[in-house]
């Protein structure tokens, strides 16, 4: 495929700012077919391309979603599907005032020689895929690296940071803003210090690699975890989470990055909104902070829907309430 590469940095910066400023955030609706199917089946809904489409249409068409949501991350399947009215998802999102984004990594595999560490794949052919997504309206993309506090190593952090940096540079070549997501998992019973160490390692390596790859930091969005104890450990106050997260980010993330949009990581909606609110209150922050939550926004809506057309409106109300709560934490 031939393509005209765009390198208009002001375009990238404008989109990155639009995604993360003004108290709006990003809805992560990019579960892979496998994950989405398992979540549907977990609610007693038969998984199929149609039920996955119906569910994503319910999310996107919730009335007034764009008041709190600036962008929606889709997976390849949804990106190529149509709403009931025949519009494709990226077109409908744009018409609704929501930037369409696309998850372009192809998932994780074991990283050889590194015990249980993972490497995210998807670089082969990525340039051609990005050209196609750009033509079809993608404003931004997403790539997620996954780290476990118990298995992260400097080499694993560097290898994943390198892949994220190559992805980010390719996105920018195609006029697409890269969301770079180095997720340190919250699963487990580790303490706050363990999450802090792993997050520093992942972020430090990532920004070294982004620098060496020549990525324009003003045209990216960072999607990190909040630095918290594991989900099975004794929780700490939201103010502590915010202060610890801020210290890690301040030490690793250059001020040139316009916006940071956090993942929710399996935490409860109220908890991640409290973390975000406390972080937003910290003075002299160099970057905008907002949300790019998946489960914290959609889990209750999926449960309310339960696959029944009669429940669509109620499910949308649940989604809108969660998005409004997250947005108010970022204002
Ligand atoms: C929505 O889930 C995303 C894709 O997951 P899989 O490829 O594993 O199916 C995921 O990357 C998500 O965007 C982030 O983990 C943030 O979601 P949470 O639920 O942690 O906010």
pLDDT digit string, tens, across residues 50-65 = 999 999 999 999 999 9
pLDDT value, residue 3 = 41
pLDDT digit string, tens, across residues 24-48 = 999 999 999 999 999 999 999 999 9
Q: Rounded to the nearest whole angstrom, what is the distance from the C-alpha of residue 140 to the centroid of ligand 1?
A: 16
Q: Rounded to the nearest whole angstrom, what is the distance from the C-alpha of residue 66 to the centroid of ligand 1?
A: 20
CATH number (domain holding residue 76): 3.20.20.70
Query: Is the distance from CB of 264 to CB of 272 less than 8 angstroms?
Result: yes
Q: Helix count (H) and strand count (E) of the chain?
A: 12, 10
Query: Is pLDDT at 213 greater than 90 in this prediction?
Result: yes
The pLDDT mean for the chain works out to 96
Catalytic residue status for 223? yes
Query: Is the distance from CB of 305 to CB of 331 less than 8 angstroms?
Result: no
Q: Which atom of ligand 1 is nearest to the CA of 30?
A: 1
Atom 17, ligand 1: which residue's CA is nearest?
A: 294
How many structural domains is the chain composed of?
Answer: 1
Identify each DSSP E strand in the chain by its residue range: 25-29, 69-74, 99-103, 108-110, 118-120, 140-147, 177-184, 221-222, 259-262, 288-291
Q: How far apart are CA 50 and CA 174, in angstroms?
A: 31
pLDDT value, residue 9 = 67
Residues with CB under 6 A from ligand 1: 28, 30-32, 35, 144, 183, 263-265, 293-296
* Mean pLDDT value of segment 258-275: 98
Q: How far apart are CA 243 and CA 249, in angstroms?
A: 10
Query: Is pLDDT at 1 greater than 70 in this prediction?
Result: no
Atom 16, ligand 1: which residue's CA is nearest?
A: 263
Q: Which atom of ligand 1 is nearest to the CA of 32?
A: 9
Domain membership of residue 92 as a residue range: 4-329
Tell me which of 29, 30, 72 to substitute to probe ligand 1's pocket, judged by most ligand atoms within 8 Å of the beta carbon: 30
Q: Which atom of ligand 1 is nearest to the CA of 36?
A: 9
Comparing CA positions, the residue from 127, 21, 106 lying closest to residue 71 is 21
Tell me which of 19, 26, 27, 28 to substitute to probe ligand 1's pocket, judged by most ligand atoms within 8 Å of the beta carbon: 28
Query: What pLDDT band is residue 298 in, cutting at 50, 70 and 90?
Result: very high
Query: Is pLDDT at 6 greater than 90 in this prediction?
Result: no
pTM over 0.85: yes
* Mean pLDDT value of segment 235-256: 98
* Mean pLDDT value of segment 300-307: 98
Catalytic residue status for 181? yes
Catalytic residue among 181, 196, 209, 325: 181
Can you read off the two tokens belonging to residue 7? 């390198």
Atom 10, ligand 1: which residue's CA is nearest?
A: 31
Place of tokens 């926004």: 297
Query: What pLDDT band is residue 2 in, cutting at 50, 70 and 90?
Result: very low
* Mean pLDDT value of segment 188-211: 98
pLDDT value, residue 11 = 95
Torsional sign, CA 262, 267, 199, 183? negative
Q: Which atom of ligand 1 is nearest to the CA of 295?
A: 19
Query: Is pLDDT at 180 greater than 80 in this prediction?
Result: yes
Q: Rounded to the nearest whole angstrom, what is the distance from the C-alpha of residue 144 to the centroid of ligand 1?
A: 8
Q: How far apart are CA 75 and CA 35, in angstroms?
A: 11
């Amino acid at each position: 495929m031939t393509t005209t590469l765009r390198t208009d940095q002001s375009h990238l910066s404008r989109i990155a700012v639009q995604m993360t400023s003004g108290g709006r955030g990003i809805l992560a609706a990019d579960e892979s077919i496998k994950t989405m199917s398992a979540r549907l089946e977990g609610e007693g809904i038969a998984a199929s391309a149609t039920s996955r489409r119906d569910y994503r249409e319910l999310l996107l068409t919730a009335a007034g979603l764009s008041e709190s949501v600036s962008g929606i991350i889709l997976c390849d399947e949804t990106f190529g599907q149509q709403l009931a009215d025949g519009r494709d998802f990226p077109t409908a999102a744009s018409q609704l005032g929501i930037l369409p984004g696309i998850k372009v990594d192809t998932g994780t595999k074991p990283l050889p020689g590194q015990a249980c560490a993972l490497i995210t794949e998807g670089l082969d052919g990525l340039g051609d895929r990005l050209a196609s997504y750009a033509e079809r309206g993608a404003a931004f993309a997403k790539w997620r690296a996954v780290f476990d506090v118990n298995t992260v190593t400097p080499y694993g952090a560097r290898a994943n940071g390198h892949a994220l940096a190559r992805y980010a540079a390719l996105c920018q070549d195609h006029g697409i803003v890269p969301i770079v997501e180095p997720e340190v998992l919250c699963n487990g019973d580790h303490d706050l210090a363990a999450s802090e160490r792993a997050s520093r390692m992942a972020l430090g390596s990532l920004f070294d690699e982004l620098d060496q790859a020549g990525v324009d930091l003003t045209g990216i969005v960072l999607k990190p975890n909040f630095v918290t104890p594991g989900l099975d450990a004794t929780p700490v106050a939201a103010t502590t989470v915010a202060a610890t997260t801020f210290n890690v980010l301040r030490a690793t993330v250059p001020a040139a990055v316009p916006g940071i949009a956090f993942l929710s990581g399996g935490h409860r909606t109220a908890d991640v909104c409290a973390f975000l609110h406390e972080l937003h209150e910290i003075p002299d922050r160099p970057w905008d902070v907002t949300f790019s939550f998946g489960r914290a926004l959609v889990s209750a809506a999926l449960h309310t829907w339960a696959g029944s057309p009669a429940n669509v409106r109620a499910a949308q109300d649940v989604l809108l309430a969660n998005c409004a709560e997250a947005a108010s934490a970022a204002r």
